[in-house]
Amino acid sequence: MEFYDVHTHQILLEDNDDPYHSCIFDVYPLEFEVAKDSHQRHAFSCGIHPWYSEGSETQMTYLTEIAPNPRIVAIGETGIDRLKGPSFDVQIPLFKKHIELAEKLCKPLIIHCVKAWEELIYVYRELRPSQPSIIHGYRGRPELTKRLINEGFLFSIGDHLNVDSLPLIPMDRLFCETDEGDMSIRDVYLQTSQVLNMELDEFAEAVAANVRRVFPDLQPPKPYFLDEEELEE
């Protein structure tokens, strides 16, 4: 089994961290130089969070310079948030710049969206980007989920999930993440597979196939084998 964490803000000690998964570590543009040397094994997503989109010109200029680096496997997290951050007049133009950059570099996008789904769909219909766009930490209701599936989005599931929506999402559009949560990636996989009534290894293989398709440059993790105790569970 291979576990992939497509969106996280936390990496434990490099030599000691969970050897059984591979992750996409989210960093700000100006953090990348240091992070890429201190986390040799990991890949990165790089962008400006909508909460901090005010006065982000320097970060955006720098992002444009570093984003072609092959260790940056996704642009973001970026997006729109109604509850936190500056007005949409600031957030949406910056979000569009991220989409344009991702298109230019042919890299997927990691999207943060809170209570701004109409705006998200509106921006996507306007720009019609072709790169895979993953809505991270997804836990929307079934009605919304159906709409977003129709719009072509992919979904990353974390510790909080919507049990009614999850089964609606096609298997080839699912990923898992730890974000800032306390739950390990293995437990996120386990919880998600249980809601889907799937065996853990069957679910992990389906997600791994999605990762290989969308993030072909992401290093595979060391395979995970159940030990005797787990086999007895």
Instruction: Tell me how far, at minimum, the Cβ of 116 lies from Zn ion, in Å.
Output: 16
Whether 91 and 50 have beta carbons less than 8 Å apart is answered as yes
5 binds Zn ion (CB under 5 A): no
Instruction: Tell me how far, at minimum, the Cβ of 158 lies from Zn ion, in Å.
Output: 9
Distances (CA, A) of 81 to 72, 101, 146: 24, 20, 21
177 binds Zn ion (CB under 5 A): no
Instruction: Tell me how far, at minimum, the Cβ of 218 lies from Zn ion, in Å.
Output: 17
Token pair of 119 as six digits: 């705006």
Stretch that binds Zn ion, among 59-67, 80-88, 176-184, 215-223 (CB under 5 A): 176-184
Instruction: Tell me how far, at minimum, the Cβ of 49 lies from Zn ion, in Å.
Output: 7
Strand partners, 25: 8, 44
Q: Which is nearer to Zn ion, 159 or 179 (CB)?
A: 179
- Residue from 194, 191, 190, 196 nearest 173 by CA: 196
Instruction: Tell me how far, at minimum, the Cβ of 18 lies from Zn ion, in Å.
Output: 18
Strand partners, 26: 45
Instruction: Tell me how far, at minimum, the Cβ of 7 lies from Zn ion, in Å.
Output: 6
Q: Which is nearer to Zn ion, 99 or 196 (CB)?
A: 99
Q: Which is nearer to Zn ion, 138 or 224 (CB)?
A: 138
Number of chain positions touching Zn ion (CB under 5 A)? 1
159 binds Zn ion (CB under 5 A): no
Stretch that binds Zn ion, among 29-37, 101-109, 123-131, 171-179 (CB under 5 A): 171-179
Residues 6+ apart with CB under 8 A from 188: 5, 157, 158, 159, 176, 177, 178, 181
Instruction: Tell me how far, at minimum, the Cβ of 226 lies from Zn ion, in Å.
Output: 30
Q: Which is nearer to Zn ion, 18 or 81 (CB)?
A: 81
Q: What is the dihedral of CA 133, 138, 141, 146, to 10 degrees?
A: 20
Q: Which is nearer to Zn ion, 146 or 184 (CB)?
A: 184
Tally of CB atoms within 10 A around 165: 22
81 binds Zn ion (CB under 5 A): no
Contacting Zn ion (CB under 5 A), which of 5, 81, 159, 179?
179
Q: Note the residues at the interface with Zn ion (CB under 5 A).
A: 179
